[in-house]
């Protein structure tokens, strides 16, 4: 055995299984038992909580400081990469062993940097450029001239079925692991509204078809019910935000196994601190309604059996005490404190559910899974905020972090 984690109280991604030892070889979990076996590296987790590594399934690794996303258009990518690489360190130190980037041009390079061992960080599943219609959420500002927007925004523009096929192939060619689309307006885009549908059924179907040809899927940003419904009917697999969803759409999501990422963190951040951190004026005006409405959506989703996953939607560092990059466990906290989920449901969302949704062989302490495991000095089933007390991080079978430092 390469690694043994012994005597800890284990949550396996679905529930608490109590005191068992976990053995790892060649990056995989190979045995879970009460037996005491020798391993090259042994971690004594007595009085500690052991669980799968955390997953943030909706982040934007922009490398931007402050709350104006417009800056992403005008700041040099080389500089943003440097900042984002620091974010990746913070995330891994905090126990995040996987993040899914839901749209950011530099994320593909960051992903390669991590997988080649050039920089420390969680495994990255990346969308690269998201797909947006003209006058869509992916433009951020609708006042800058269109040519500027097309050249500088983080999105790939498409209008019409042919154009959507072309855009899909382009982003997949760039190396995207999945395709991210904008199916409604949003909060941080200037002149559209969260309830406005964007892209048609035919356009989204064409994008889904291109993704499925290479065994991947489409993630859709959707606030309003109408646009969300069109996206679900067209075959998307993960629905992002979903703040204004109605019952019928939630039931359809359950039927079609579409997951929900409520992204409570970004809403809390903009609501509480938006002005302070410089969020563009239009964002401040639109936040209240979606932040109020999403609480009920989370409760209904849980009731109907829609799979809920964790994603902060953080796309900039804030310098704030409460919500910032590296404190992405805040989503699990908010799912309990605002969404009314049990602590176990919330932990399941950030591990087993998220791994299932984004298609990685992790998120569970089961034989055969990738050994992404964290050791916590506390008990998040008692107090979800104990997720902030991660002491050790095992990523891909390797003990990577000990007491807040990289090994
Ligand atoms: Zn997002």
- For residue range 363-396, list pLDDT tens digits in order: 999 999 999 999 999 999 999 999 999 999 999 9
Q: How close is the Cα of 72 to the center of ligand 1, in Å?
A: 14
> Do residues 250 and 259 touch, judged by C-beta distance below 8 A?
no
**135 alpha carbon – ligand 1 mean position (Å):** 17
Phi, psi (degrees; rounded to nearest 5) at 333: -65, -45
pLDDT at 158: 96
The pairing of strands 49-52 and 398-402 is unpaired
CA of 384 to the centre of ligand 1 (A): 24
Degrees, nearest 5: CA angle 332-336-337: 110
Average pLDDT value over all residues in the chain: 96
Give distance in angstroms: CA of 313 to centre of ligand 1. 5
Q: Is the pLDDT of residue 254 over 90?
A: yes
- 59 Cα to the center of ligand 1, angstroms: 6
Say yes or no to pLDDT of 72 above 80. no
SS3 92: helix
In angstroms, what is the span from residue 10 Cα to ligand 1's centroid? Answer: 32
Going from the Cα of 252 to the center of ligand 1, the distance in angstroms, rounded, reads 23
Question: What is the CA(31)–ligand 1 centre distance, in A?
Answer: 37
Tokens matching residue 12: 């396996």
Would the pLDDT of 190 be above 90? no
| Higher per-residue pLDDT: 122 or 191 | 122
Q: What pLDDT is stored for residue 202 in this prediction? A: 98
Q: How confident is the model at residue 68 (pLDDT cuts 50, 70, 90)?
A: confident
pLDDT of residue 189 exceeding 90, the answer is no
Whole-angstrom distance, CA of residue 93 vs CA of residue 388: 10
Residue range 225-247: mean pLDDT, rounded: 98
352 in Cβ contact with 14 (< 8 Å) = yes
Is the predicted pLDDT of residue 70 greater than 90, yes or no?
Answer: no
CA of 294 to the centre of ligand 1 (A): 15
Counting Cα atoms < 13 Å in the Cβ hemisphere of 226 gives 10
CA distance 366 to 31: 8
Residue 100 — pLDDT band, cuts 50, 70, 90? Answer: very high
Burial group, residue 308, by CB count within 10 angstroms (0-12, 13-18, 19+): buried
- Tell me the CA–centroid distance for residue 60 and ligand 1, in Å: 6
How remote is the CA of residue 58 from the centroid of ligand 1, in Å? 6
Ligand 1: centre distance to CA 46 (Å):
38
C-alpha 198/C-alpha 166 separation (Å) is: 18
pLDDT higher than threshold 90 for residue 153: no
Q: Looking at the predicted structure, is the pLDDT value of residue 35 above 90?
A: yes
Average pLDDT for 216-233: 98
| Span from the CA of 102 to the centroid of ligand 1 (angstroms) | 6
Distance 392 CA to ligand 1 centre (A): 29
Distance 180 CA to ligand 1 centre (A): 9
Domains within the chain, CATH numbers bracketed:
3-52+366-406 (2.30.40.10), 54-358 (3.20.20.140)
Q: Write down the pLDDT at residue 191.
A: 87
183 touches 228 (CB < 8 A): yes
Burial class (CB in 10 A: 0-12, 13-18, 19+), 60: buried
Residues 155, 176: Cα–Cα separation, whole Å: 13
Distance 220 CA to ligand 1 centre (A): 10
Mean pLDDT across the stretch 336-359?
Answer: 98
Distance (angstroms) between ligand 1 centre and the Cα of 311 equals 9
Range 100-114 average pLDDT: 97
Q: Decide if pLDDT at 11 tops 90.
A: yes
Burial category of 40 from C-beta neighbours within 10 Å (exposed 0-12, middle 13-18, buried 19 and up): exposed
Cα(144) to ligand 1 centroid in Å equals: 21
Give, as one character, the DSSP assignment of residue 130.
P
Calpha distance 91→110 (Å, rounded) = 13
What confidence score (pLDDT) does residue 151 get? 87
What is the average pLDDT across 227-255?
Answer: 98
Q: With cut-offs at 50, 70 and 90, classify the pLDDT of residue 239.
A: very high
Question: 171 or 149: whose pLDDT is higher?
Answer: 171
CA pair distance 227, 75, nearest whole angstrom: 32
71 — pLDDT class (breaks 50, 70, 90): confident
Above 80 in pLDDT, residue 69? no
Give the integer Cα–Cα distance in Å for 280 and 64: 14
């Amino acid at each position: 055995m390469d690694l043994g984690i012994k005597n800890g109280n284990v949550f396996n991604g679905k529930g608490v299984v109590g005191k068992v030892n976990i053995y790892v070889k060649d990056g995989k979990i190979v045995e879970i038992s009460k037996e005491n076996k020798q391993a090259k590296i042994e971690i004594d987790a007595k009085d500690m909580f052991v669980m799968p590594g955390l997953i943030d399934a909706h982040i934007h690794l922009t490398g931007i400081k402050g709350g104006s996303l417009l800056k992403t258009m005008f700041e040099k990518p080389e500089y943003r990469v440097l900042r984002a690489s620091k974010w990746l360190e913070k995330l891994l130190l905090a126990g995040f062993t996987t993040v899914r980037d839901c749209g950011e041009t530099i994320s593909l390079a960051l992903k390669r940097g991590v997988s080649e061992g050039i920089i420390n960080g969680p495994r990255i599943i990346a969308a690269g450029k998201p797909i947006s219609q003209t006058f869509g959420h992916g433009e951020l500002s609708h006042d800058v001239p269109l040519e500027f927007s097309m050249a500088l925004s983080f999105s790939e523009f498409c209008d019409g079925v042919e154009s959507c096929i072309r855009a899909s192939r382009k982003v997949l060619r760039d190396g995207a692991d999945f395709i991210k689309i904008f199916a409604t307006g949003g909060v941080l885009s200037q002149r559209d509204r969260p309830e406005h549908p964007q892209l048609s059924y035919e356009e989204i179907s064409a994008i889904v078809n291109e993704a499925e040809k290479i065994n991947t899927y489409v993630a859709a940003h959707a606030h309003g019910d109408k646009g969300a419904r069109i996206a679900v009917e067209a075959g998307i697999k993960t629905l992002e935000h979903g703040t204004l969803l109605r019952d019928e759409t939630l039931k359809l999501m359950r039927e079609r196994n579409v997951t929900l990422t409520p992204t409570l963190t970004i809403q809390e951040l903009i609501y509480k601190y938006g002005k302070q951190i410089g969020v563009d004026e239009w964002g401040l005006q639109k936040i209240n309604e979606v932040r109020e409405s999403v609480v009920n959506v989370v409760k209904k989703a849980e009731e109907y059996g829609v799979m809920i996953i964790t994603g902060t939607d953080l796309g900039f560092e804030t310098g704030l005490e409460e919500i910032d990059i590296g404190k992405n466990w805040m989503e699990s906290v908010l799912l309990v404190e605002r969404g009314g989920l049990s602590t176990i449901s919330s932990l399941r969302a950030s591990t087993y559910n998220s791994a299932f949704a984004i298609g990685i062989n992790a998120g569970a302490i089961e034989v055969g899974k990738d050994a992404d495991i964290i050791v916590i000095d506390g008990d998040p089933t008692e107090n979800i905020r104990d997720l902030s007390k991660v002491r050790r991080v095992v990523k891909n079978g390797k003990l990577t972090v000990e007491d807040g430092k990289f090994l």
